[in-house]
Structure 1
Amino acid sequence: MTDGRGFARPIGVAVLGFGNVGTEVVRILTDHASDLEARVGAPVVLRGVAVRRTDVERQIDPDLLTTDAEALVARDDVDIVVEVIGGIDPPRELILAALNGGKSVVTANKALLADYTGELAEAAERHRADLYFEAAVAGAIPVVRPLMQSLAGDRVERVVGIVNGTTNFILSAMESGDADYEVVLKEAQQLGYAEADPTADVEGYDAAAKAAILASLAFHTRVTAADVYREGISNITSEDFQTAKALGCTVKLLALCERLVDSDGKERISARVYPAFIPLEHPLASVSGAFNAVVVEAEAAGRLMFYGQGAGGAPTASAVLGDLVMAARNKVYGGRGPGESTYAKLPTAPIGETPTRYHVNMQVTDRAGVLSTVAAAFAEHEISISTVRQEGTGNDARLVVVTHRAADQDLADTVRTLADLESVISVNSVIRLEGTSV
């Protein structure tokens, strides 16, 4: 893209949103303009920033601010639109308008991508524009581009990660302080790690959106948030951590995306989010605080781990700027980045047919024959028991059972059977066990 005299003309950038991430994006664009020009091959010029109000004092030239995001996107001197507003509307309409106008888009909007990637990717394809979204998953951690490009020639078998910093902070604090969930949640809110309404984080919605994006990239299949099974951490107790410690494990909220192959060779995808026990020797077990990490297992590459700051203005802006440089280079040199790959079109397996291991904690009557009765309930549903132990006596007697891999529906049926047994007072908790090969 030249100005007619053989020199690359400036690449115009519009930023939609001026919160923590938008502020950092603008700062980097301004403070490192000469470096960015050298990396891109042309000046990268900020054309404007769309905000809700212009009467708020900000560290930016007020002439760059506008409340008319639609007009900013439509400007002829804008080549790339950076969307860091968040949410579905109006970002969806603004991004579509940009792509339909042939402008490239960089976004950090995981909620939008989890449900509308197909629509946005098709618009980008029709108009030969770039759609980049490295910042939508795990902040500054580069995981989207490796899945799209570095591992494009490999067969990815599994992606598992800690992709929500709020829940990881809460679980880490519960473990280190032996504290209950509600106490730690209030602390996280006071420290700014959790929102006043933490539902999106603690109930797994944020992680599920990211899991949908990861599964789509890893398995070349369009996966939406609705395809992802989801459980949150609000029912995790300090007792669960004590049990985990006894097992040599810890508790993490995991996003799991894996390729399932049945006995006939038929392939399906499982995408799910839930709290799980993982062994202390697993690479994700040591990821603490608000950090994120993603482990990718591929046929040829083996196990790869990506670790770092998963949220925050500066880390997320770093990922945004990486995408922005790629999109700008493509504008200068006339190229285009890889688009959506959905050739595999694999079906999604329901959670009931997804196998894993389970830890079942139940309160029982302390009398002879209870163990055999409980074991019979597991055998009735063809679930093999790995270990079983009794804790306490009298009214505080508990049986703790760890299973081998079994389908989720079979385990659910077993729990219902257990609940009907006279010798079982209550099933206190059922927590999945991940990260083992048994």
Structure 2
Amino acid sequence: MRLAILGCGTVGSEVVRLLHEQSADLAARIGAPLEIAGIAVRRLGRDRGDLPVAPELFTTDAVGLVKSEDVDVVVEVVGGIEPARGWLVDALRAGKSVVTANKALLAEDGAALHDAAADGGADLYYEAAVAGAIPLLRPLRESLHGDRINRVTGIVNGTTNFILSAMDATGAGFAEALEEATELGYAEADPTADVEGFDAAAKAAILASLAFHTRVGAADVHREGITEVTAADVASAKAMGCTIKLLCIAARGADATGRESVSVRVHPAMIPLGHPLASVGDAYNAVFVEAEAAGPLMFYGRGAGGAATASAVLGDVVAVCRNRLAGVRAPSESAYADLAVRPMGEALTRYHVSLDVADKPGVLAAVAGVFARHDVSIATVRQVPAGAEPAGRGADAVLVIVTHTAPDAALAATVEELRGLDAVRSIASVLRVEGGE
């Protein structure tokens, strides 16, 4: 079986290394040896260390390599939308199986890839696109197809999980924790994709598509990052017996008209310390799946890194090569449900709201009245004197309110009205609360 490898960076070089080191075992598992037909790179002269491949295998002609009749499987670890989309569509339409780790492309235009795979009768596998080495997509795609999945909640970005874990452990602010993550190599020089939630949103779209048999794209995902999370928020979460995580949440439910639909969102949220995801620290990933028959399922492990991602890539390579030798295809895309994606305003969630207020009679009644006007029920209220916690410095008192579950639009409208209330000096923080109710 002949492989074309597109990209030879952190992941691609690990794929090449593992292909060499495990060649005998891989051949035995597949039933045929694997050979590298070529490796497409941007620059031929770059130092790639001691990779065990002949220099003549490297090429800058990715198009020619993909179209070569001598190639059975295309492995794409370049990333980005273009030119990767064109390469993979061409390969799939020509009947070549594709293994990709390209979460951005799958979330942006997975439909084009799936349609091309159907046209060419080829396999499209992408386990490495979400949660690195964790076997997650294959279980959603195959193992749980006899069940109904109602909700998927996950920590799918290692950089943000490291930052929030560091803030929780040390009391540091966001900027300090990001600096540490950068020094340790967990954060890129430009961390925008991670800290603003773009990476997690792409993965959420892929998870929702598989879980709910519906095409969900990145544009369908409500996205918020962690840059506004403060040390005060972390301290307040601790006082509630919670921790803060950047969560991707995909849930099945009824829309405003009662029709079945899905909600897909990414945002920081407080979760109780007893929640299965609360103890996931450092740069690890974990995904919590709730299915009707199987019940709750937890997937946990390393969500990033060259070796971890290469492990998932090679698992897919073995699968597609076995299929080609047997003359069969993997199950095609399952998008029969075609459910609508609910707007964020219809998502059911809870809020944690910290208010700097004047410490005088009637304030609590006025604040409670705002919640009541928007039909939002208050679960708990905690009042502390000014200066008792960071959010209250400079105010007479701090009110910390946690709501019961309500539509996000009603909660957002409540907060907006609170901003104009005379007794409210400022809104120190607003965070969603997940789990525990």
User: TM-score, with normalisation over the residues of structure 1?
Assistant: 0.96
Instruction: Tell me the CA shift for residue 265 of structure 1.
Output: 4.9
- Aligned partner letter, 2:365: S
State whether structure 2 residue 199 is matched by structure 1 residue 206: yes
State whether structure 2 residue 43 is matched by structure 1 residue 53: yes
State whether structure 2 residue 378 is matched by structure 1 residue 385: yes
The answer for the alignment partner of 1:419 in structure 2 is 419
From 66, 71, 76, the equivalent of 2:64 is: 71
The answer for the alignment partner of 1:167 in structure 2 is 160
State whether structure 2 residue 12 is matched by structure 1 residue 19: no
CA 1:57–1:419: 2 relative to 1, 3 Å? closer
Q: Secondary structure of 1:114's partner?
A: helix
Instruction: Tell me the CA shift for residue 396 of structure 1.
Output: 3.7
**Counterpart-to-counterpart distance in 2, 1:24 and 1:360:** 46
CA 1:114–1:263: 2 relative to 1, 3 Å? closer
The answer for the alignment partner of 1:95 in structure 2 is 88
Most deviating of 155-164 and 28-37 = 28-37
The answer for the alignment partner of 1:80 in structure 2 is 73
Q: Secondary structure of 1:375's partner?
A: helix
Query: Any residues of structure 2 matched to 1:36-435 within 5 Å, and which?
Result: 36-58=26-48, 59=51, 60-261=53-254, 265-393=258-386, 395-435=395-435
Unaligned runs of 5+ in 1: 1-10
**Counterpart-to-counterpart distance in 1, 2:135 and 2:284:** 14
Do the aligned residues in 1 keep the contact of 2:157 with 2:285 (CA within 8 Å)?
Answer: yes
**Counterpart-to-counterpart distance in 1, 2:339 and 2:12:** 36
Please list the CA deviations of residues 306-349 of structure 1 after superposition, one character each: whole Å capped at 9, or x if unmatched.
Answer: 00000000000000000000000011111111121110010001
**Counterpart-to-counterpart distance in 2, 1:362 and 1:35:** 61
**Counterpart-to-counterpart distance in 2, 1:85 and 1:264:** 43
Q: Secondary structure of 1:244's partner?
A: helix
Please list the CA deviations of residues 394-427 of structure 1 after superposition, one character each: whole Å capped at 9, or x if unmatched.
Answer: 8341111100001111111111111111111111
Instruction: Tell me the CA shift for residue 261 of structure 1.
Output: 2.5
Please list the CA deviations of residues 138-157 of structure 1 after superposition, one character each: whole Å capped at 9, or x if unmatched.
Answer: 00001100000000010000
Q: Secondary structure of 1:292's partner?
A: strand
The answer for the alignment partner of 2:22 in structure 1 is 32
**Counterpart-to-counterpart distance in 1, 2:377 and 2:198:** 32
**Counterpart-to-counterpart distance in 2, 1:152 and 1:265:** 25
- Aligned partner letter, 2:313: V
- Aligned partner letter, 2:418: L
- Aligned partner letter, 1:358: Y
CA 1:262–1:90: 2 relative to 1, 3 Å? closer
Instruction: Tell me the CA shift for residue 33 of structure 1.
Output: 1.0
Unaligned runs of 5+ in 2: 387-393
- Aligned partner letter, 2:64: A
Q: Secondary structure of 2:395's partner?
A: helix
- Aligned partner letter, 2:15: V
Instruction: Tell me the CA shift for residue 196 of structure 1.
Output: 1.0
Instruction: Tell me the CA shift for residue 57 of structure 1.
Output: 3.1
Instruction: Tell me the CA shift for residue 30 of structure 1.
Output: 1.2
- Aligned partner letter, 2:8: F
Please list the CA deviations of residues 193-220 of structure 1 after superposition, one character each: whole Å capped at 9, or x if unmatched.
Answer: 1011110000000000000000000000
**Counterpart-to-counterpart distance in 2, 1:418 and 1:65:** 61
- Aligned partner letter, 1:299: E
Which 4+ runs in 1 deviate beyond 4 A? 262-265
Q: Secondary structure of 1:129's partner?
A: coil
Q: Secondary structure of 2:188's partner?
A: coil
Instruction: Tell me the CA shift for residue 263 of structure 1.
Output: 8.4
- Aligned partner letter, 1:305: M
Please list the CA deviations of residues 260-280 of structure 1 after superposition, one character each: whole Å capped at 9, or x if unmatched.
Answer: 125875211000000000000
**Counterpart-to-counterpart distance in 2, 1:103 and 1:213:** 22
**Counterpart-to-counterpart distance in 1, 2:360 and 2:338:** 53
- Aligned partner letter, 1:56: R
- State, as a whole percentage, how many aligned pairs show the same letter: 61
The answer for the alignment partner of 1:6 in structure 2 is none
**Counterpart-to-counterpart distance in 1, 2:81 and 2:384:** 49
**Counterpart-to-counterpart distance in 2, 1:68 and 1:97:** 14
- Aligned partner letter, 1:44: L
**Counterpart-to-counterpart distance in 1, 2:300 and 2:349:** 25
Aligned length: 427
Q: Secondary structure of 1:395's partner?
A: coil
User: TM-score, with normalisation over the residues of structure 2?
Assistant: 0.96
RMSD: 1.1
CA 1:263–1:182: 2 relative to 1, 3 Å? closer
Do the aligned residues in 1 keep the contact of 2:256 with 2:346 (CA within 8 Å)?
Answer: no
Q: Secondary structure of 1:82's partner?
A: strand
